[in-house]
């Protein structure tokens, strides 16, 4: 199938060639189909000296040119010369590429803009004066189809006997310098590599001397690695192990794996890995380790009920318990089991989505959906509409708390299920104690192990309510339902509306006043829809009008936010939480490494605006005078990693710590190169001060 598609692409390319899709120019630049190509070089050359030059492509959005190994289809750009005697040009050098999926194929190349550096040398006996250097450039540019092209360009150079080369603008010099700095380098002396055959593929070990959260391998040779197959990276203590799939056409065991390795911090190394011993990093964990982590997840799920994120659902379930106090024991237990099922199904869907997106190359973690302003808006709208119903504006047909009667029984079971779903949705901005390590472990394991741990987490979250439904003596202590229940039901709307206020605040952090205006407009539409439902509760026509208004509110959230607002810049953002301040620097791996190299202790706060646990920790612990004074006394470099919006680098840094969400706090002691100390998810001033006291 792959060979057939390659043939099809080349047939399209050949047809385009004969259709006249070729560009010609007598200048240093040429415009062609979907790109512009330029030669950048000094206009003055000097005998006996070497200069740097470059081949520059600027591409239309969605189109790409290729790396030296183009992948499953394509060809890299080629540059050939006709030069006067005594002047020569070196080969093109290729910056690190990106993976470019095309259906079942995988290309390696460049989008938007790329500069390929090369050198030019002038012999000591080269003729002086004006010289013409003629270049023929060939390329293949692709999107869904591939178009070959070429350009004939001429460089008019002045060769001098002495002096310095010149003639480049400041912008051209900066472009050449930036391209040269981005080129991959040979692996330094401290970095070693090895590969070993592993079933239908290879295990490639990259030992850098520190734990690496991820890596990507671009093979130099064709026909050895299946380019489109996912590359599974598993951190080890001194590096990372990549699992690669063999190409289906490979028949002879390779003697090396040569290519380019890109690490999580952006470092790129050219490697030639010989056969050798590779750490056996398996997808699954031992049964003992798996059970240990599942136990941590179970306890973490139970503690999660005490986190501020889950408070709104606790109010709903408390109301449900009071409602069920007079029911028969079997029906109460069924409600508890259905609520548990809602939680488990939600966790199973969440872990399936996370694993699927990660297999496709995305870097996501716990609570990732709150990084989307559209999701935040829809969540606020859902809770606001639920709060209106609880406050008495109207009755939701599918009540989350109704029980008793044949129809109400069905509604009650459905309500219990979706209350479990809601519990998971609102719980994801929080990470309870013991949860962080368990979730980070789960997402680094096989799918089966991940589902075991997330199932344990779900059972832990559901356990308190489920145990209450199975112990009738406890439910008998609850008061009997009566007229006072309406007052309690309306009071339950208060924490729901408080959660909506928090979500509006989160929107302000990421989308500013424009995002808040869109969200509040949606909430206004929901209030109108609720009024229509409350004014004409049983009529078909008003019901349809209310439904149309509801759809309008959802549409405004889904389409209005991306279209009518723009993300808040880092300079405008109010900050993700209590760690904001003049002593805190925005996190970057380079900044942390520089501070550690300078011998400073480093504290990193991985946080997000939508993480309620983060906000509580920062106000209770990190903002206190005692902790701030201790930071200053120890000369700790403070970094805030704001994960409010999606950030691949922060996600990878969390993975390197064995975590998959926030809050996460890590303290690096001065003069050490190893991993730092990860603090608990729930902080107190004492915990932070004790950790700081251990610093030298």
CA 333/CA 420 separation, integer angstroms: 15
Decide which of 564, 599, 614 is a domain's last residue.
564
Which pLDDT score is estimated for 440?
66
Do 306 and 450 lie in a common domain? yes
CA 72/CA 108 separation, integer angstroms: 8
Instruction: Map residue 695 onto helix, strand or coil.
Output: coil
CA 585/CA 638 separation, integer angstroms: 6
- pLDDT band at 399, cuts 50/70/90? very low
**Pairing state between β 50-59 and 113-122:** antiparallel
Instruction: Establish if 635 belongs to a structural domain.
Output: yes
Decide which of 495, 530, 564 is a domain's last residue.
564
CA 50/CA 266 separation, integer angstroms: 29
Do 354 and 239 lie in a common domain? no
Which pLDDT score is estimated for 667?
93
**DSSP-derived secondary structure letter, 27:** S
Instruction: Establish if 130 belongs to a structural domain.
Output: yes
Please provide residue 188's backbone torsions phi and psi, each rounded to the nearest 5 degrees. Answer: -65, 170
First to last CA, the chain: 62
User: Which of 35-39, 201-205, 446-450, 554-558 has the largest mean confidence?
Assistant: 35-39
Total number of domains constituting the chain: 4
Instruction: Establish if 636 belongs to a structural domain.
Output: yes
In the beta sheet, which residues pair with residue 130? 158
Which pLDDT score is estimated for 3?
39
> Among 125-129, 322-326, 669-673, which stretch is predicted with the lowest mean pLDDT?
322-326
Do 647 and 521 lie in a common domain? no
Do 211 and 66 lie in a common domain? no
Instruction: Establish if 360 belongs to a structural domain.
Output: yes
Evaluate if residue 49 carries a pLDDT over 70: yes
> Among 136-145, 424-433, 541-550, 585-594, which stretch is predicted with the lowest mean pLDDT?
424-433
58-77: pLDDT as tens digits: 999 989 999 999 998 889 99
Do 263 and 341 lie in a common domain? no
Evaluate if residue 421 carries a pLDDT over 90: no
* CATH number reported for the structural domain that contains residue 110 in this entry: 2.60.40.10
Do 479 and 531 lie in a common domain? yes
Mean pLDDT of 387-415: 55
Is 64 within 8 Å of 101 (Cβ atoms)? Answer: no
**Residue, of 209 and 310, whose pLDDT is higher:** 209
**Pairing state between β 257-263 and 268-273:** antiparallel
What element of type H or E holds 78?
strand 78-82
Which pLDDT score is estimated for 630?
93
Is 429 within 8 Å of 410 (Cβ atoms)? Answer: no
In the beta sheet, which residues pair with residue 311? none
Do 38 and 144 lie in a common domain? yes
**Residue, of 138 and 414, whose pLDDT is higher:** 138
Do 390 and 527 lie in a common domain? yes
CA 448/CA 556 separation, integer angstroms: 39
Do 362 and 463 lie in a common domain? yes
**Pairing state between β 584-586 and 637-642:** parallel
Evaluate if residue 438 carries a pLDDT over 70: no
Which pLDDT score is estimated for 602?
93
677-691: pLDDT as tens digits: 889 888 999 999 999
> Among 30-39, 203-212, 352-361, which stretch is predicted with the lowest mean pLDDT?
352-361
- pLDDT band at 13, cuts 50/70/90? very low
Do 138 and 156 lie in a common domain? yes
Domain that holds residue 150: 2-182
500-519: pLDDT as tens digits: 888 888 888 777 888 888 88
Do 481 and 369 lie in a common domain? yes
Evaluate if residue 134 carries a pLDDT over 50: yes
Instruction: Map residue 351 onto helix, strand or coil.
Output: helix
Residue-wise DSSP of 90-132: --------EEEEETTEEEEEEESEEEEEEEEEE-TTPPPEEEE
* CATH number reported for the structural domain that contains residue 222 in this entry: 2.60.40
CA 440/CA 213 separation, integer angstroms: 12
Instruction: Establish if 87 belongs to a structural domain.
Output: yes
**Residue, of 264 and 633, whose pLDDT is higher:** 633
Decide which of 134, 149, 182 is a domain's last residue.
182
Evaluate if residue 655 carries a pLDDT over 80: no
Which pLDDT score is estimated for 407?
32
Rg (CA), the chain: 31
Instruction: Establish if 279 belongs to a structural domain.
Output: no
> Among 174-183, 335-344, 435-444, which stretch is predicted with the lowest mean pLDDT?
435-444
Evaluate if residue 220 carries a pLDDT over 60: yes
Which pLDDT score is estimated for 472?
58
The sheet with strand 637-642 has its strands ordered as 584-586, 637-642, 602-607, 664-668, 677-679
Buried residues in 408-418 as b, exposed as e (16+ CB within 10 A): ebebbbbbbbb
Instruction: Establish if 576 belongs to a structural domain.
Output: no
Is 343 within 8 Å of 420 (Cβ atoms)? Answer: yes
- pLDDT band at 374, cuts 50/70/90? confident
604-618: pLDDT as tens digits: 999 988 787 788 888
Q: What are the residues whose beta carbons fall under 8 Å from the beta carbon of 198, sequence distance 6 or more?
A: 243, 278
CA 696/CA 685 separation, integer angstroms: 19
**Pairing state between β 637-642 and 602-607:** parallel
Evaluate if residue 582 carries a pLDDT over 80: no
Mean pLDDT of 166-188: 87
CA 26/CA 39 separation, integer angstroms: 12
- pLDDT band at 54, cuts 50/70/90? very high
Residue-wise DSSP of 273-291: EPB-------SSPPHHHHH
- In the chain, the percentage of residues whose pLDDT exceeds 70 is 78
Evaluate if residue 370 carries a pLDDT over 60: yes
CA 143/CA 12 separation, integer angstroms: 12
Is 676 within 8 Å of 602 (Cβ atoms)? Answer: yes
Average per-residue pLDDT in the chain?
Answer: 79
CA angle 12–18–23, rounded 5-degree value: 100
CA 109/CA 115 separation, integer angstroms: 12
Do 177 and 201 lie in a common domain? no
Instruction: Establish if 577 belongs to a structural domain.
Output: no
* Burial of 271 (C-beta count, 10 Å sphere; 0-12/13-18/19+): buried
User: Which of 327-331, 574-578, 586-590 has the largest mean confidence?
Assistant: 586-590
């Amino acid at each position: 199938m792959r060979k057939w598609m390659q043939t099809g692409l080349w047939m399209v390319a050949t047809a385009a060639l004969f259709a006249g899709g070729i560009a010609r120019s007598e200048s240093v630049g040429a415009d062609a189909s979907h790109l512009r190509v330029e030669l950048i070089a000094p206009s003055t050359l000097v005998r006996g000296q070497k200069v740097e030059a470059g081949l520059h492509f600027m591409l239309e959005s969605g189109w790409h040119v290729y790396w030296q190994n183009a992948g499953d289809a394509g060809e890299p750009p080629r540059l050939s010369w006709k030069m006067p005697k005594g002047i020569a040009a070196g080969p093109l050098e290729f910056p690190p590429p990106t993976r470019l999926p095309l259906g079942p194929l995988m290309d390696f190349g460049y989008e938007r803009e790329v500069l390929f550096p090369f050198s030019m040398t002038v012999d000591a006996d080269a003729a002086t004066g004006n010289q013409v250097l003629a270049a023929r450039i060939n390329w293949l540019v692709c999107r869904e189809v591939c178009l070959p092209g070429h350009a004939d360009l001429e460089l008019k150079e002045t060769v001098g006997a002495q002096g310095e080369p010149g003639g480049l603008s400041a912008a051209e010099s900066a472009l050449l310098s930036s391209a040269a700095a981005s080129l991959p380098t040979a692996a330094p002396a401290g970095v070693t590599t090895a590969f070993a055959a592993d079933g239908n593929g290879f295990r490639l070990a990259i030992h850098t001397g520190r734990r690496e959260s991820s890596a990507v391998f671009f093979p130099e040779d064709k026909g050895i690695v299946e380019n489109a197959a996912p590359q599974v990276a598993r951190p080890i203590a001194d590096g990372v192990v990549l699992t690669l799939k063999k190409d289906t056409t490979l028949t002879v065991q390779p003697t090396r794996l040569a290519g380019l390795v890109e690490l999580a911090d952006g470092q790129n190394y050219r490697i030639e890995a010989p056969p050798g011993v590779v750490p056996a990093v398996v997808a699954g964990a031992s049964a003992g380790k798996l059970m240990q982590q599942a136990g941590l997840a179970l306890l973490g799920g139970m503690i999660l009920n005490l986190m501020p994120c889950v408070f709104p659902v606790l109010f709903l379930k408390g109301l449900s318990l009071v409602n069920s106090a007079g029911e028969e024991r079997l029906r109460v237990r069924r409600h508890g089991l259905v609520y548990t099922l809602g939680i488990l199904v939600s966790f199973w869907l969440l872990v399936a989505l996370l694993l699927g997106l990660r297999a496709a190359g995305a870097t996501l973690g716990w609570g990732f959906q709150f990084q989307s302003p559209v999701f935040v808006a829809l969540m606020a709208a859902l809770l606001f509409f639920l709060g209106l119903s609880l406050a008495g504006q109207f009755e939701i047909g599918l009540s989350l708390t109704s029980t008793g009667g044949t129809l109400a029984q069905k509604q009650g079971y459905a309500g219990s299920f979706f209350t479990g779903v809601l519990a998971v949705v609102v719980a994801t901005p929080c990470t309870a104690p013991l949860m962080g390590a368990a979730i980070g472990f789960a997402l680094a394991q096989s799918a089966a192990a991940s589902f075991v741990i997330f199932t344990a987490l779900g059972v832990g979250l559901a356990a308190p309510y489920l145990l209450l439904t199975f112990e009738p003596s406890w439910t008998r202590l609850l008061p009997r339902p009566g007229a006072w229940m309406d007052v309690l039901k309306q009071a339950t709307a208060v924490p729901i509306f408080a959660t909506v206020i928090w979500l509006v605040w989160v929107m302000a952090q990421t989308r500013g006043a424009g995002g808040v205006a869109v969200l509040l407009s949606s909430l206004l539409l929901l209030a109108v829809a609720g009024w229509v439902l409350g004014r004409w509760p049983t009529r078909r026509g008003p019901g349809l009008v209310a439904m149309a208004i509801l759809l309008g509110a959802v549409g405004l959230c889904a389409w209005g936010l991306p279209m009518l607002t723009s993300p808040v810049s880092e300079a405008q953002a109010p900050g993700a939480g209590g760690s904001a301040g003049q002593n805190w620097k925005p996190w970057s791996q380079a900044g942390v490494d520089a501070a550690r190299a300078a011998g400073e202790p480093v504290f990193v706060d991985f946080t997000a605006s939508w993480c309620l646990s983060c906000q509580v920790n920062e106000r209770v612990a990190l903002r206190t005078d005692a902790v701030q004074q201790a930071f200053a006394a120890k000369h700790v470099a403070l970094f805030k990693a704001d994960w409010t919006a999606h950030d691949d680098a922060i996600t990878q840094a969390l993975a390197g710590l064995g975590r998959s969400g926030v809050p996460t706090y890590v303290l690096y002691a001065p003069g050490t190169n190893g991993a730092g100390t990860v603090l608990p998810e729930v902080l107190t001033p004492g915990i932070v001060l004790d950790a700081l006291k251990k610093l030298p």
